[in-house]
Amino acid sequence: MISIGIDVGSVAAKAAAYDGEKIIATAILPTGWSPKAVGEQLLAEILHKTRTPKEKVKSIVGTGYGRVSLSFIDKNITEITCHGKGAYYLDPKIRTVIDIGGQDSKVIKLDEGGQVVDFLMNDKCAAGTGRFLQVMANALAVDVGDLSRLATGAEPANISSMCTVFAESEVVSLVAEGSSKETIASGLLHSVCNKTYSLASKIGVEDKVFFSGGVSRNQKLGELLSHKLGTEVISSKESQYLGAIGAAIIGYR
């Protein structure tokens, strides 16, 4: 028997399958216009990947903003709880999760059993989220996945606006003035780092710190956060799947 977690985020939908001991498969698709349709596609993909007939699925748990649109799930659970469970599975010593996704960022504090003790979320403004980086990458005519490499070793250009719209204008002006893409990319990552730091400072950060969400794929940002927080910030290749992993584990139990 397996359980399946499906996390329909604002930008990307993720799924994970759990066999009672470990995560045996993951899948990811752009969310697109229909959370329900992408959820069904992910379910089909994960059943195919694990070669599991439907009757061998113990439960399906949905999470993420699109979870309420998934008609085929057994239960829906908030992202915060699922992130906590996912983090505990990856490393029970994790006490703080910093999650930066497509349209929000959150800091979650966990106890030694992986239970959420506190959290803080920015979902009011695109600053400091994946959306911010995507808009800026477009303005620089680069892929969002290139920002880390570009920023590595570059002095940060000063980007003073936190607001995505104003910061985009600043980037356009910096390009026109001849600033390099490298210094601008570095300035942008410093801006996201500062925004995340101020969110994290409000709630306090305890070791170990895990960086999750799609933006955690930006390695340079992880390094900047480590430096700013004065503690090691770890991540893993499964970090974008944290919510789906937690949902699958909760479903099994």
Integer Cα distance of 13 and 91 in angstroms: 23
Q: How many chain residues bind ligand ADP (CB under 6 A)?
A: 20
Integer Cα distance of 149 and 153 in angstroms: 9
Distance in Å, CB of 2 to ligand ADP, minimum? 22
Identify which of residues 101 and 187 has a Cβ nearer to ligand ADP in the complex. Answer: 101
Binds ligand ADP (CB under 6 A): choice among 215, 224, 244, 249: 215
> Does 218 sit near ligand ADP (CB under 6 A)?
yes
Distance in Å, CB of 103 to ligand ADP, minimum? 5
Sorted by sequence, the CB contacts under 8 Å of residue 165 that are 6+ apart come out as none
From 7-15, 118-126, 183-191, 224-232, give the range in contact with ligand ADP by CB under 6 A: 7-15
Q: What is the 3-state secondary structure (H, E, C) of 59-95?
A: EEEEECCCHHHCCCCCEECCHHHHHHHHHHHHCCCCC
Query: Pick from 241, 228, 214: which is nearest to 144 by CA?
Result: 214
Residues from 141 through 200 that contact ligand ADP (CB under 6 A): 144-145
Task: List the structure tokens of 43.
Answer: 């379910």
Identify which of residues 142 and 162 has a Cβ nearer to ligand ADP in the complex. Answer: 142
User: CB neighbours (10 Å) of residue 61?
Assistant: 27
From 127-135, 156-164, 177-185, 191-199, give the range in contact with ligand ADP by CB under 6 A: 127-135
Query: Pick from 166, 103, 175: which is nearest to 134 by CA?
Result: 103
Binds ligand ADP (CB under 6 A): choice among 103, 180, 194, 236: 103
Binding site for ligand ADP (CB under 6 A): 9-12, 64, 101-103, 130-131, 133-134, 144-145, 213-215, 217-218, 240
